Amino acid sequence: DGGITQSPKYLFRKEGQNVTLSCEQNLNHDAMYWYRQDPGQGLRLIYYSQIVNDFQKGDIAEGYSVSREKKESFPLTVTSAQKNPTAFYLCASSLRRRGRSSYNEQFFGPGTRLTVL
Amino acid sequence: DAKTTQPTSMDCAEGRAANLPCNHSTISGNEYVYWYRQIHSQGPQYIIHGLKNNETNEMASLIITEDRKSSTLILPHATLRDTAVYYCIAGGSRLTFGEGTQLTVNP
């Protein structure tokens, strides 16, 4: 069953603790993305990676870190430096268009809702 | 990524066509128009995308104006399950999500 999975669905952490959110895809997609969504707002890009062992900052990277050691995995760590970490976090992936530098549509996981107490 | 403008909310009667407009007047030549929708507390669902030509799939149709400055997503026979926030995005590898249009399908 192909797709993109995120775990856990709900996560609670105490203030000051780092927490890592999992994102796995078995679609053989080249690129992976992390977004943050706050209530009533659209998605904002945190980090993205177009190839293994390489990633770029998005619009709101401060307080977050990522790694891309394997094509199918792109974990996101929310560090204690993130001022307002409580949010809905979404992971996505997309396939590179053949012979081009652009990418196809993104497919999203179900999301992880992080609450920092 | 080009900025997009969408109405904040729209209503549609069940069984009727829902036409959702989007303006993207600063879109560049290599940027695609994507449409996604998001049902509360779920990940966004891809609907359709296009570059220049109109597109149709099993979910919807996408009409892009000749100058590519605006587009319309058409859900031909809206159902209650189509109630969601619909995002129009003009972009390439990176997608910038605005606040979208809240479509409410009424019985």
Structure confidence by residue, pLDDT tens digits, A42-61? 899 999 999 999 999 999 99
Gap from A102 CA to chain B (nearest CA, Å): 6
C-alpha count within 13 angstroms, C-beta hemisphere, residue A80? 5
Q: Is the peptide bond before A8 cis (omega within 30 degrees of 0)?
A: yes
Q: What is the pLDDT of residue A1?
A: 55
pLDDT band at B104 (very low <50, low <70, confident <90, very high): very high
**How far is residue A52's CA from residue A68's CA, in Å, rounded to a whole number?**
5
Give the residue from A91, A93, A89 showing the smallest Cα distance to A78: A89
Give the residue from A96, A104, A89 showing the smallest Cα distance to A22: A89
Sign of CA dihedral A20, A26, A32, A35: negative
Mean pLDDT of chain A: 92
Number of Cβ pairs closer than 8 Å across A and B?
Answer: 50
Partner-chain contact A42 B99, CB within 8 Å: yes
Q: What is the pLDDT of residue B40?
A: 85
Residue A36 has pLDDT above 90, yes or no: yes
Enumerate the β-bridge partners of residue B56. B61
**How far is residue B41's CA from residue B39's CA, in Å, rounded to a whole number?**
6
